[in-house]
Structure 1
Amino acid sequence: MHETAGLPATELRAFAARAEAAEDAGAEALLAVHPDRAPASVLAPLLRRDGKPGFVVTDMTDVDLFAPLDTVVPPDAPLYVLTGLDRGDRMANWSPDEALPALTAEARTPLLLTEGIQWVLHQPAVLDRNHCFMTLGSRRRKPDGALDARTPAVWISNGTGRDGRERRNAPKVGWCWAGNRHTWLGFGSATGRRTV
């Protein structure tokens, strides 16, 4: 990960040690690399499940253009910590349009796509068949400023359609419409982001 971010391994280790020493980091903390340093297109192939590499769906060639919402601002630092991570299973069968205001009302921040991928890289078990998650903190803006209706998500491929049978059970970065509901997709979120 440090190579992807253009950071010396010693700097990453030192940051991790400082984060671990922080009294409020706790077991739920996730060390994250800023999205500018580690884009989704580079991170997705690093995912592994059943020995199969992760991938981005073929109709999402613009994956790296999905940027943080105005209300979701990562710290201005190459490395930071996410706290209070939750996969959002309780919101399964909600649409992104329904989930975002609910998370905001609970003072939770939706995960960025790159943060969701990094969470699975750190803790592969968080990606579980029929219990996957959307990362609605990342959206693409159209030239007129409106949000693209696609919302990125991380889930497990069934190996159908354009995914190909060889990708069955592989980690997959894809998207769903902002107004659609899926019984197997929650909404990844955190209580905050901070530097140490």
Structure 2
Amino acid sequence: MTGAAFDAEAEFDRQVARLIELGYPGAAGLTAEQFGETVAPLRGVAASAAAGEHDPERGRVAFVLVVTRQLVPIEETMPRTTLAGKSRPGFVDHSFEEGSLERFVATDAVHLPDPRAYLVFDVDRGEEFCGAVPVDAMGVIADRERTVLTIEEGVALLTLFPEVLVKNKCYMLGGSRCGDRRVPALWISKNAPKLGWCWERNPHTWLGMASAGGRVAAG
């Protein structure tokens, strides 16, 4: 990515417009104007967060606008995802027993800069970790001083860049855990995105580990 090829503020505006188009304001109990006002302070920090590579088809994104479950529940964000060029909505797998998704929260190592909305930057879907043991992949990412993505961050990445989720290059979200051995993950099922989970010691050849350079909030 070069400065001449990437306009961070224009990209931020695109992401906000896409979320409004997908009905995020209504799901958050806000008007489109109120939603825009809520996230608008982040526009000014988008440029400083856009230092990394931006090539979504290769699974690298400069920054992503993350709307947390405090504004819109995960159960309402997943149906607003699709695969690139497809229309079938994403879904939460039934393997999440009733009430369990609420227990998958950010780990102690993950520091959310704002409880409602923020930017995650220098994002990588992490296909280099396809076939790796998840807990080992998380250790490598920590050693690199990067951070694994939470469920909300992974869903935001997919929502705004559907092209990142492709066959054999899906990704786990080790930043959200519930105290057991399950690691959330996004993959493809029934020609649509699915939020499921895998075991922290079970490798999958088609699941990498998504990560980011960090998170930033306005102010």
Give the TM-score of the pair, scaled to structure 1.
Answer: 0.84
Cα shift readout 1:73-117 (whole Å, capped 9, x = no counterpart): 211342211011001111111122111111110001000011101
For 1:177, the equivalent position in structure 2 comes to 199
Distance 2:177 2:76 in 1: 18
Q: Distance in 2 between matches of 1:77 and 1:13?
A: 12
- Tell me which of 121, 130, 142 is aligned to 1:92: 130
Contact kept, 8 Å, 1:39 with 1:114, in 2: the verdict is: no
CA distance change for structure 1 residues 151 and 24 in 2, over 3 Å: closer, same or farther? closer
**What number of residue pairs does the alignment pair up?**
179
| Larger helix percent | 2
Q: Which residue of 1 aligns with 2:214?
A: 192
1:39 to 60, 68, 73: 73
| C-alpha deviation, 1:6, in angstroms | 4.1
Give the whole-Å Cα distance in 2 for the aligned partners of 1:23 and 1:138. Answer: 26
Q: Tell me how far 1:25 sits from its aligned partner.
A: 2.8
Deviation at 1:24, TM superposition (A): 3.7
Query: Residue deviations 1:131-182, cap 9 Å, x none?
Result: 0000010001xxxxxx21111000100xxxxxxxxxx211100010111000
Q: Percent identity?
A: 36
Secondary structure class of the residue paired with 2:123: coil
CA separation of 1:14/1:40 partners in 2, compared to 1, >3 Å: closer, same or farther? same
Contact between 1:79 and 1:195, CA under 8 Å: does it hold in 2? Answer: yes
Selected match of 2:48 from 1, 13, 23: 23
Q: CA deviation at 1:36?
A: 2.5
Give the number of the structure with larger relative contact order, counting CA–CA contacts within 8 Å between residues 6 or more apart.
1
Question: 123, 143, 153: which one pairs with 1:115?
Answer: 153
What are structure 1's unaligned runs of at least 5 residues?
141-146, 158-167
- 1:78 maps onto 2:116 in alignment: yes
Residue 76 of structure 2 aligns to a residue whose secondary structure is: helix
Amino acid at match of 2:196: G
Shift of the 169–104 alpha-carbon distance from structure 1 to 2, 3 Å rule, reads: same
| One-letter amino acid matched to 1:17 | R
Describe the shift of the 1:6–1:195 C-alpha distance in structure 2 as closer, same or farther (beyond 3 A). farther
Corresponding residue to 2:89 among 30, 47, 53? 53
- In 1, distance between residues paired with 2:63 and 2:194? 23
Q: How much is the aligned-residue C-alpha RMSD, in angstroms? A: 1.7
CA distance in 2, matches of 1:82, 1:130: 24
Structure 2 stretches lacking a partner, 5+ long = 1-23, 55-61
